[in-house]
Amino acid sequence: MRIDRLTLRGFRNYRDMTVTFPAAGAYITGANGSGKTNLLEAMYFLANQTSFRTTKREELQGWGTTQCRVDALITAPETQRQSELAIALSPHGRRLLINGKATREAYKFATYFAAVAFHPGTLNVLKGGPAGRRLLIDRGIASLHPAFVQTSLDCQRALKQRNALLRSATGPGNPTLEVWTERFINVALQITAARQEHVTVMNQTLATLCKSLGTDIGLLTLAYRPAVLAHCTPEVSDLLLASLPHAPQLRERLYAEAQRLQRGEMALGQTLFGPQRDDIAIYYRGREARSSASQGEQRLSAFLLIAALALAIQQRHGHQPVVLLDDVVSELDERNRHIVFGFLQSHDFQVFITDIDHRIWSQHLRDFPSFQVRQHNGQAELRPGPTPQHARCDVC
């Protein structure tokens, strides 16, 4: 898949802009705060119907406006099918449009375009708490299995309803609470099975990817740690996870946790077990990356996770997602930059990279199309950048 044309109206600091992109993508430079990240965010939003920076849709709307719109002409090179996709936000909510016709089928909309993104916040996945790692895994699952979005929504609804009952119920044994506990456990098992399957797929893809990039790169692996199995031995945990998706013993453990924690839950008014408390460990060269990897190794690890997801999407769906890389090269040494650019040059993804200036472009990607973002009257504009024959490289 590729973006041939992108139109932004009222999105962040883009008032009204239409730009045509080459099939290869673009190397986009500009000063801090000029709008480089906003541009990639718009592409990601169109593909995933969510931002990689915020959960508040109103933040996507430009200053002084209550609505915005992202339009794109998408081409599937495998079939040469072209589609016009749009997402419009207004005080009335969100509208999805396919070839000018509104649709409520988010699943169908997601099949037309896929994108993965590395951005500075991706590093929080390695350095931060479990919530960021759960989000990375769940968004990855949704990229491979769009129907998972509904499963995730069902889980959130059951959790919200159960929490409300915990705050209002008079005591254990409330029949309505028991009904929602059962619903929550049913969807929790679906989430657990999907996460375990995704971790397995990602580990297989990461092993192949790391091997292809060079024997000295080391191995990046994931380990799923469901909260319900926190007190199990590794052997028991592996056995129970291997029994998914049909895992009666795991279901029994969830019910046992519900009984054990119910009085504490009612005191706090929140559910204390389930997939919203899971974690995913990330290991680089056999050690947990969060505590032992350097800043550069963490940045490389985050890139490899995104690269592996792009490959997994291609393997499953037969089409290539657009790869969005926001400030990926900073804090990487020359060796790791060669790893990143070597991957990009050996795969036919449409790629959009942002950077402060053209120095790295001049060194590694001089044949790659170049654009510049500039501010004009408080609004962002995207213009063609230098051509290879006019590019300067102060370090070459």
* CATH number, position 109: 3.40.50.300
**Residue 101 shares a structural domain with residue 154:** no
Amino acid type, 366:
R
The pLDDT score that the predictor gives to residue 193 is: 93
Concatenated DSSP letters for 324-366? EEES-STT--HHHHHHHHHHHHHS---EEEEESSSHHHHHH-T
- Domain final residue pick, 290, 317, 344: 317
The total number of structural domains that make up the chain: 2
Identify the band that residue 240 occupies on the pLDDT scale cut at 50, 70 and 90: confident
Token digits for 197? 């399957």
Look up the domain containing 267 and give its range.
122-317
**Residue 150 shares a structural domain with residue 215:** yes
Q: For the residues 75-89, what does the mean pLDDT come to?
A: 87
The pLDDT score that the predictor gives to residue 366 is: 63
pLDDT digit string, tens, across residues 149-175: 889 999 999 999 999 999 886 666 678
**Residue 201 shares a structural domain with residue 165:** yes
Domain CATH code at residue 191: 1.20.1050.90
- Domain final residue pick, 262, 293, 317: 317
Whole-angstrom distance, CA of residue 3 vs CA of residue 16: 18
**Strand (E) positions, the chain?**
2-11, 14-20, 25-29, 68-76, 81-90, 93-98, 101-103, 115-118, 220-225, 279-284, 287-288, 322-326, 351-355, 370-376, 379-384
Identify the band that residue 234 occupies on the pLDDT scale cut at 50, 70 and 90: confident
Identify the band that residue 297 occupies on the pLDDT scale cut at 50, 70 and 90: confident
Whole-angstrom distance, CA of residue 369 vs CA of residue 263: 61
User: Is the pLDDT score of 96 beyond 90?
Assistant: yes
**Residue 232 shares a structural domain with residue 157:** yes
Q: Give the residue carrying structure tokens 């199309």.
A: 369
**Residue 313 shares a structural domain with residue 323:** no
Q: Look at residue 37 and give its three-state secondary structure.
A: helix
Sign of torsion over alpha carbons 137, 88, 311, 369: negative
Q: Give the residue carrying structure tokens 């509104």.
A: 102
Write phi, then psi, for 338 (nearest 5 degrees): -65, -35
Whole-angstrom distance, CA of residue 371 vs CA of residue 28: 5
The pLDDT score that the predictor gives to residue 217 is: 80
**Residue 10 shares a structural domain with residue 67:** yes
User: Is the pLDDT score of 53 beyond 60?
Assistant: yes
- Domain final residue pick, 287, 317, 347: 317
**Residue 54 shares a structural domain with residue 23:** yes
**Residue 283 shares a structural domain with residue 331:** no
Phi-psi region of 162 (alpha: psi -120 to 50; beta: other; left: phi over 0): alpha
Whole-angstrom distance, CA of residue 46 vs CA of residue 37: 14
| C-alpha distance across the termini of the chain, in Å | 34
The pLDDT score that the predictor gives to residue 364 is: 60
Q: For the residues 98-105, what does the mean pLDDT come to?
A: 90
Identify the band that residue 392 occupies on the pLDDT scale cut at 50, 70 and 90: very low
Whole-angstrom distance, CA of residue 328 vs CA of residue 344: 12
The pLDDT score that the predictor gives to residue 395 is: 31
Comparing CA positions, the residue from 144, 106, 117, 114 lying closest to residue 1 is: 114
pTM, to two decimals: 0.87
**Residue 189 shares a structural domain with residue 253:** yes
**Residue 126 shares a structural domain with residue 273:** yes
Whole-angstrom distance, CA of residue 390 vs CA of residue 127: 40
Q: Look at residue 105 and give its three-state secondary structure.
A: coil
Share of the chain above pLDDT 90, in %: 45
Identify the band that residue 268 occupies on the pLDDT scale cut at 50, 70 and 90: very high
Q: For the residues 193-219, what does the mean pLDDT come to?
A: 90
Angle between helix axes 148-168 and 130-144 (nearest 10 degrees) is: 140
The pLDDT score that the predictor gives to residue 191 is: 95
**Residue 92 shares a structural domain with residue 139:** no
**Residue 210 shares a structural domain with residue 305:** yes
- The strand pair at 279-284 and 287-288 is best described as antiparallel
